[in-house]
Structure 1
């Protein structure tokens, strides 16, 4: 499977603290990957670098079959390349319906004229219905987003990102604050999404990661400590020493 994103020899220092230390990691065209590690391991900074929020001191971040460098691009330019990010706290338009939230997120021409002339099309309506089914909100399309449960808001935000048809979806701690049933549904949503794009999930909840049933990358002090199946990395003595042997709730 071809490489979609390659992070190579990346380092970044904040006020003397090396948050990312010679990090090298690759992601394939369509795969589900979990990134775990203790607090301060560099998980969020890694996502900040890929999305252009943070510029590294050194290294390369190469994207797609054309081997584009993401380092010279702005956050909006990177988003247009097909990289979507979901933060831990859901950000949806609370006073709009679920359908309106998804409609606003659809990948359509963004010029002022195109937005002005935008009409409800059959294809857009079908796309909204398909996404709503994928995220389990078909029966909630007419509900105001602010009325949704925490888990449903998380699903809606994932749906809004899917509506933009990203090639890479970065998801930060989606299981936080969810019920058991919501967590199970969330893993199903992410596993389904990863059939057609790369989905990278940063998570602390080991049961959630186990249910994802995917390759796991363990970060520690800004670099890769171990990589492989969850059973493989959790049996690694260094992973046990720096991460699993301490509380990481």
Structure 2
């Protein structure tokens, strides 16, 4: 299987602390992957490197069919290449409707002339309704985003990213603060999204990860400690030691 993203031998230090240590990890074009690990394992720094927020000291980050390097690219250019990131706290436009939020996020031509010429086309309306259906908010298109529950705001932000048609979606702890029902629906949304793109979920909630039913990568001290199914990695003695031996797991 050809890879969508290849991170090879990447390291980065902050004030002498090695946050990422010779990390190598690859992702296919359509897959769902969970990344777990104790606090300080390097999960956030990994996402920062892929999205251009942090520049590594060494290693390579190769993207897409053309095998281009993401290193040195701006965050906005990386986003335009098709990498979307959802942070833990939802950031939606609360004074706008669900439909307006999705419309603003649609992947459309950029630039002053494109903006001037842009209109509410039937194609855009179809895309908005399709995304709203995918995230379970088809009946809430006219509601203000500020009226949504915490879980619904999370779904809307995922929808806003999907509207940009990313090839890789990085999602940071989507289950945080959700009800059991909302967590179940979120796993369904992510599993469906991964049928047509790569979706990488950083998560602490092991029940949520189990419901994702996907390959799991365990990070520890900035490196891959174990990889495989959740049952496989959680039966690994080193993984057990890392999680049980720390109070901040």
Residues 1:133 and 2:129 are matched in the alignment: no
User: What's 1:19 paired with?
Assistant: 19
Q: Report the 3-state secondary structure (helix = DSSP H, G, I; strand = E; otherwise coil) of the residue aligned with 2:110.
A: coil
Calculate the aligned-residue CA RMSD, in Å. Answer: 0.9
Q: Report the 3-state secondary structure (helix = DSSP H, G, I; strand = E; otherwise coil) of the residue aligned with 1:84.
A: strand
| 2: CA distance, partners of 1:29 / 1:79 | 16
CA contact (8 A) 1:151 1:178 kept: yes
User: What's 2:68 paired with?
Assistant: 68
Gaps of 5+ in 1: none
Show CA shifts across 1:209-237 (max 9, x none).
Answer: 00000000000000000000000000000
Residues 1:104 and 2:87 are matched in the alignment: no
TM-score by structure 1 length? 0.98
Residue 116 of structure 1 deviates from its aligned partner by: 1.9
Residue 245 of structure 1 deviates from its aligned partner by: 5.1
Q: Report the 3-state secondary structure (helix = DSSP H, G, I; strand = E; otherwise coil) of the residue aligned with 1:12.
A: strand
Show CA shifts across 1:56-107 (max 9, x none).
Answer: 0000000011110000211011001000000000000110000000000000
User: What's 1:194 paired with?
Assistant: 194
Q: Report the 3-state secondary structure (helix = DSSP H, G, I; strand = E; otherwise coil) of the residue aligned with 1:227.
A: strand
User: What's 2:153 paired with?
Assistant: 153
Gaps of 5+ in 2: none
Q: Report the 3-state secondary structure (helix = DSSP H, G, I; strand = E; otherwise coil) of the residue aligned with 1:85.
A: strand
Residue 248 of structure 1 deviates from its aligned partner by: 5.0
User: What's 1:177 paired with?
Assistant: 177
Show CA shifts across 1:134-167 (max 9, x none).
Answer: 0000111000000100000000000000000000
CA contact (8 A) 1:226 1:233 kept: yes
Residue 244 of structure 1 deviates from its aligned partner by: 4.4
CA contact (8 A) 1:102 1:128 kept: yes
Moved over 6 A (4+): none
